[in-house]
Structure 1
Amino acid sequence: MTFTMGRALANYPNRFDPGSLAELAPELRSTIERRMNVLGPGYSLIYREPVGFVSGRGAHLFDAEGNDFLDAYNNVPCVGHCHPHVVEAVDRQMATLNTNTRYVQNDLVEYAERLVATFPVELSRVTFACSGSEANDLAVRVARFHTGHEGIVVTRYAYHGITRETASFSPHLGTGSPLGPNVRLIEPPDPRRVPAGTTLAEYMREQVRGAIADLERHGSGLAALITDNAHTSDGIFTDPVGYLQVMIDEAHTAGGIYIADEVQSGFARLGESMWGFQRHDVVPDIVTMGKPMANGLPLSGVVFRPEVSDEFGRNVRYFNTFGGSSVPIAAAAAVLDVLETERVAERVLATGTALREGLREILAESAHVAEVRGAGLYIGVEIVTDRDTATPDRSRTEAVINALRDQHILINGTGIGVNVLKIRPPLAFTFDDVGRFLDTFAPIARTHL
């Protein structure tokens, strides 16, 4: 049987090539062939040699042979794989009740109050869904209802979801997934792109201004500017902060709103604050969140300014059968417990700093590393053919990713050129984990970088 990879998947980072099935061990090859024969379209595996796991704990995953893989990639298990406090909360709730938001549930209300209390006071309403895609879909529906406009502005390679609506403003999905006619792209906040004589803030302001003007010229006003404040798919751009307010000002002047997509940058991921937008000292109109919210259970959320959402709520019915159901809410409440009692943000700030500093020391003399950047436990290492031309080097990037996988360390790639190492571990990452990562990475860097 012959398997082929479409153009869109071929552009994704570090995808397993089905053409190399014959090179795998017989049992692994058989399982992958069965998978490909039964799963629907669009699925893919990662790494040159795919890997499967049977258990997890903290920032560690274990395969069937008992090998310990250091997970420096998966943000969904926010406070760590199988955190005992989360497991106990889910087990207790599953044995008690699992029902939906049509019924009065004190635990739901209590969690909503706790969650909203982590936001600026202007953001005081929350709606629950099951995925980040659903959250962003609802956010845009509300934005369009509130503004009466259709236009969306996102960064060049952003990813905001896989529903038909969110895919229409997720250029990261590739040429096989068309953008909507009312979507405009701007460059990410990469300080190296800024023309001489201007600032990053002015550069971003002018881009937003130009995108809005183009929307209006084609008969569509701005509904929303949407950003992921880790700029994950664009290549991870977290610093310097301070450029975001002028972008929001431009959106507001045009009658649009600002949506902060915190699926990637939220829940203390960046270390300095609970939410990525807080590093910029701004207040969004809508905030969306997903994946890490319930440590992997299907739960997402949209937090609104009431003046943006209330009229929508009075006129449009919204109900999500599983969004806000009892078991995911129990998991989400347990995640907040862990974030508070284990002082996770402080640990993330310390371990993230140690990891970035260690990487910079190892890579200081490398001719193939343009930059080590990031905040907290979200780190990007940009790999290029040489520093002078800064040409993206995807093949070298994937060689490093797979060499780490072979040494039982998991990361992946990102960026427009698919040439940025994406290091994004569960927030349970410890200083011992940092040491193991750096000790394993150093000889690989000497060989490949």
Structure 2
Amino acid sequence: MLSKQESIDLRGKLIGESCQLFFRKNPLKIVRANAQYMYDEKDDAYLDCINNVAHVGHCHPAVVKAGCDQMSVLNTNNRFLHDNILLCAQKILSTLPENLSVCYFVNSGSEANDLALRLAQIHTGNKDVIALEHAYHGHLTSLIDISHYKFDLPGGVGRKDHVHVAPIPDTYRGKHRDSNKSEEELGSMYAEEVRAICNKIQEKGKGVCAFIAESLISCGGQVIPPNQYFNEVYDAVRASGGVCIADEVQVGFGRIGKHWWAFQQYDVYPDIVTMGKPMGNGHPVACVVTTKEISESFNKTGVEYFNTYGGNPVSCAIANAVFDTIETENLRENAVVVGEYLLDNCQILSRKHKVIGDVRGVGLFVGIDLVKDRETREPNPKCAKFVHQRMREEHILITIDGPHSNIIKFKPPMVFTKENVDAVMSTLDRVFKEYREKSELFEVNTTRMPGYVTDGKSTKEHRPIKALLERSNIKSI
């Protein structure tokens, strides 16, 4: 195995510079992983609070076995008849409303969203797409075009004429956040913004092609849309000739616990649902599910849809194993119990640290909004950056996102436990105290703070993750 420095040097020569890593100045080299833990080249363990890809836990034995067993028998393209794709389709459709009855298998969430747009354009005959502010839907050109999170960057391509951006339905930091309004009223106010866009499109003599949104908004800052929002938006879009696409690539497969899909908590019925990341637990497999009517429109074009590897026997065997694992290990129930415990403990933490402006989430999808001032809600990316780095030093991996880079995101593997939550919360508590002390000392021109040294290592002896690993004997796995 290459040394870490050799890996860094070789990557700098061979891999595109824009393909960036977590922790750019001192990247982690991960050589193995198990369940909710990742291990570096020194075999030091890190608690993974990031990976919604390793949905049922890194290297889950049942998932690995399913892939190996199928690979040893057959792996080919999807133009040969095989049963795994049919079994996978049955499992998916059994979790969805009856109107969603036709599956198209692809390799990634980006491919899924690209195909969803194509289906919508063919079915409606329209081109105009409505997406959300700060949204991200994938890396294909068609998706960068509708992803405000990307096209609005300084080096981005800018908004295309057929793309319309609606305000993100964020009741804490968004356009509408009147504390005197109910959640339903705020949902209606945000929905009215989409209705206004639909009206403008129609005034130009055109119709809407599609409205696309994550059911829970991830890159936009772990935003939970308010009640009534999707109900009213879907009505407005359909009245304008469009279809409604629910992007479940990040939040599907039981992450919210009470339902298989996040859109189900809003009691709405999308016309197209896209799924990806967690479906294969890290293996490239994804799916688009739509109605019979939209599928028939696609068929009438006479253009064959062909995806060489989408839905191949190995990918579908792995996806089937992921489904079975979620059910046999009661991981949706775990998401409810541990997710509520995580959310409650984040709320408790917010009562101790004024830098926490808001806590929000559902299931194992939780965000902490860091602020400079609770009254003004001014974002605090400086604190977020500090916390991000210090948690890594304490061997706990979190990520920071949102339009202001001030949201701590939790979307861990579904095997996350209450003990893991305790380790994260006690460490966060100390790190927030360190930040406060550091800030206070900075105000009086003190350059060093107690218990912290500039080489990036804590002088504190208390290491919750280390103690947790010792209690769990995790090294023996």
Q: Same fold (TM over 0.5)?
A: yes
Distance across 2 between alignment mates of 1:58 and 1:253:
46
Do the aligned residues in 1 keep the contact of 2:66 with 2:318 (CA within 8 Å)?
A: yes
Do the aligned residues in 2 keep the contact of 1:230 with 1:237 (CA within 8 Å)?
A: yes
RMSD: 1.7
Do the aligned residues in 1 keep the contact of 2:4 with 2:41 (CA within 8 Å)?
A: no
Q: Which has the larger radius of gyration?
A: 2
Distance across 2 between alignment mates of 1:228 and 1:187:
13
Aligned partner of 1:84 in structure 2 is 61
Is 1:305 the counterpart of 2:294 in the alignment?
no
Residue 143 of structure 2: which of 166, 175, 179 is its match? 166
Residue 381 of structure 2: which of 394, 397, 414 is its match? 394
Do the aligned residues in 2 keep the contact of 1:182 with 1:220 (CA within 8 Å)?
A: no
Distance across 2 between alignment mates of 1:264 and 1:236:
11
Matches within 5 A, 1:218-233: 220-233=206-219
Aligned partner of 1:19 in structure 2 is none
Aligned partner of 1:362 in structure 2 is 349
Aligned partner of 2:75 in structure 1 is 98
Q: Read off the aligned partner of 1:202 and give its amino acid letter.
A: S
Do the aligned residues in 2 keep the contact of 1:182 with 1:215 (CA within 8 Å)?
A: no
Is 1:332 the counterpart of 2:307 in the alignment?
no
1:360–1:197 CA distance, 2 compared to 1 (3 A): closer
Distance across 2 between alignment mates of 1:49 and 1:40:
18
Matches within 5 A, 1:256-271: 256-271=242-257
Matches within 5 A, 1:35-184: 35-47=11-23, 48-173=25-150, 174-178=153-157, 179-184=159-164
Deviates more, 1:430-439 or 1:245-254: 430-439
Is 1:348 the counterpart of 2:345 in the alignment?
no
Aligned partner of 2:262 in structure 1 is 276
Distance across 2 between alignment mates of 1:345 and 1:240:
22
Distance across 2 between alignment mates of 1:175 and 1:215:
27
State the shift of 1:240 in Å: 3.9
Aligned partner of 2:167 in structure 1 is 187
Aligned partner of 2:416 in structure 1 is 429
Distance across 1 between alignment mates of 2:240 and 2:190:
15
State the shift of 1:272 in Å: 1.6
Residue 230 of structure 2: which of 206, 219, 244 is its match? 244
Equivalent residue of 2:373, what SS? coil
Q: Read off the aligned partner of 1:286 and give its amino acid letter.
A: I
Distance across 2 between alignment mates of 1:431 and 1:365:
20
Distance across 1 between alignment mates of 2:67 and 2:5:
35
TM-superposition CA deviations, 1:9-47 (whole Å, max 9, x none): xxxxxxxxxxxxxxxxx9644432321221135201112
1:413–1:254 CA distance, 2 compared to 1 (3 A): same
Deviates more, 1:127-136 or 1:34-43: 34-43
Is 1:410 the counterpart of 2:397 in the alignment?
yes
TM-superposition CA deviations, 1:408-441 (whole Å, max 9, x none): 1111111111110111101111122122212222
State the shift of 1:218 in Å: 5.1
Q: Read off the aligned partner of 1:140 and give its amino acid letter.
A: L
5+ residue gaps, structure 1, are 1-25
Is 1:383 the counterpart of 2:370 in the alignment?
yes
Deviates more, 1:174-183 or 1:299-308: 174-183
Distance across 2 between alignment mates of 1:200 and 1:343:
35
Distance across 2 between alignment mates of 1:167 and 1:218:
25
Aligned partner of 1:419 in structure 2 is 406
Do the aligned residues in 2 keep the contact of 1:239 with 1:374 (CA within 8 Å)?
A: no
Distance across 1 between alignment mates of 2:9 and 2:373:
39
Distance across 2 between alignment mates of 1:43 and 1:257:
34
TM-superposition CA deviations, 1:236-263 (whole Å, max 9, x none): 1225433211010000010101000000
Do the aligned residues in 2 keep the contact of 1:194 with 1:203 (CA within 8 Å)?
A: no
State the shift of 1:448 in Å: 2.1
Structure 1 moving runs of 4+ over 6 Å:
none
TM-superposition CA deviations, 1:152-201 (whole Å, max 9, x none): 11110000011111110011123423232211111122224245667122
State the shift of 1:396 in Å: 1.1
State the shift of 1:264 in Å: 1.1
Equivalent residue of 2:95, what SS? coil
1:154–1:90 CA distance, 2 compared to 1 (3 A): same
Equivalent residue of 1:418, what SS? coil
Aligned partner of 1:12 in structure 2 is none
5+ residue gaps, structure 2, are 437-477
Distance across 2 between alignment mates of 1:265 and 1:436:
24
Q: Read off the aligned partner of 1:305 and give its amino acid letter.
A: T
State the shift of 1:54 in Å: 0.8
Q: State the aligned residue count.
A: 424
TM-superposition CA deviations, 1:260-295 (whole Å, max 9, x none): 000011001111210010000111000000111111
Distance across 2 between alignment mates of 1:448 and 1:363:
14
Distance across 1 between alignment mates of 2:334 and 2:38:
21
1:411–1:342 CA distance, 2 compared to 1 (3 A): same
TM-superposition CA deviations, 1:74-123 (whole Å, max 9, x none): 11111010000001100101101001221111121111111111101110
| Percentage of identical aligned residues | 35
Do the aligned residues in 2 keep the contact of 1:222 with 1:256 (CA within 8 Å)?
A: yes
